[in-house]
Amino acid sequence: MQTKDDFLSGQVLLIDKPLTWTSFQAVNKLRWEIRHAFDIKKIKVGHAGTLDPLATGLLVICTGKMTKQINIFQGQEKEYTGTFTLGGTTPSFDLETEVNETFPTAHITDELIHATTQQFIGQINQFPPVFSAIKKDGKRLYEFARAGEEVEIKSRQVEITEFEITQINALELHFRVVCSKGTYIRSLANDFGKALNSGAHLSSLRRTRIGDFKVENALTPEAFIESLPSKD
């Protein structure tokens, strides 16, 4: 069992983030539980890479002196699995917002889907979603989006080393992606739909790996909390 000194000197916690939780909520919850379990007044806790509320999977959380390693972990390669849904786009590129435009899909074959993945392997330019936490002029992009304000977004160069469609169920495409820091899978879904001369949005997402850290070695927040000493 980990001790008070372990957490203060620094731990790397692998957490399987539940659906609808924000990464910020996960960090706050674990910080409170660690402080409560060990009567610690103050401890640094941070995460190495945000996951959207509608995504699940690996969140690397660092405590104490290990928070100094966060930038290193953030820069490591990431792996995701999930689903794209063809035929419709949303303003947020995922299910945070409703489908606002529909597109034909009758021309899309399995062969075309698999062939189109090749366009996205390597270094690509990608526009982040307008519904994102990137800052512009001191405000988050999603603040502009929710206020209905137009904002110019610059593209970013990212790298996708692996991109495969693992299963096709009618308009639902299951995928696996290995990519660099800063890659938006929501933007990939939107761009993939365009490349098919149709539309698409991200309908589920799970982060399975960051560097050498794997989600199969992660604990749910509940399981982590249960591993802490009881105050009762």
- SS3 of residue 37 by DSSP: helix
pLDDT digits (tens, 9 = 90+) for 196-228: 999 999 999 999 999 999 999 999 999 999 999
Asked if residue 170 is part of any domain, the answer here is yes
Q: Does 55 share its domain with 142?
A: no
- Residue 116's CB is within 10 A of a number of other CB atoms, namely 17
For the cut 80, the answer to whether the pLDDT of residue 140 exceeds it is no
Residue located via tokens 């995701």: 80
pLDDT band at 137 (very low <50, low <70, confident <90, very high): low
Q: Does 105 share its domain with 61?
A: no
Asked if residue 85 is part of any domain, the answer here is yes
Owning domain of residue 60:
4-75+212-227
Number of domains present in the structure of the chain: 2
Q: What are the residues facing 177 on neighbouring strands?
A: 80, 163
- Residue 150's CB is within 10 A of a number of other CB atoms, namely 7
Q: Does 205 share its domain with 217?
A: no
Q: Does 82 share its domain with 183?
A: yes
pLDDT band at 127 (very low <50, low <70, confident <90, very high): confident
pTM: 0.91
Tell me if residue 39 is catalytic.
no
pLDDT digits (tens, 9 = 90+) for 27-54: 999 999 999 999 999 999 999 988 989 9
pLDDT band at 186 (very low <50, low <70, confident <90, very high): very high
Confidence (pLDDT) at 141:
61
Q: Does 222 share its domain with 194?
A: no
The rounded mean pLDDT for the chain is: 92
Q: Does 64 share its domain with 104?
A: no
For the domain that residue 82 is a member of, what is the CATH number? Answer: 3.30.2350.10
For the cut 60, the answer to whether the pLDDT of residue 232 exceeds it is no
Percent of the chain with pLDDT over 70: 90
> Residues 75-81: what's their mean pLDDT?
97
Q: What are the residues facing 15 on neighbouring strands?
A: 59, 219
Q: Does 53 share its domain with 65?
A: yes
pLDDT band at 230 (very low <50, low <70, confident <90, very high): confident
Long-range contacts of residues 140-147, Cβ cutoff 8 Å, at least 24 apart = 145/91, 145/92
Asked if residue 38 is part of any domain, the answer here is yes
Asked if residue 232 is part of any domain, the answer here is no
Q: Does 147 share its domain with 196?
A: yes
Please identify which of the residues 5, 6, 16, 52 carries the catalytic annotation: 52
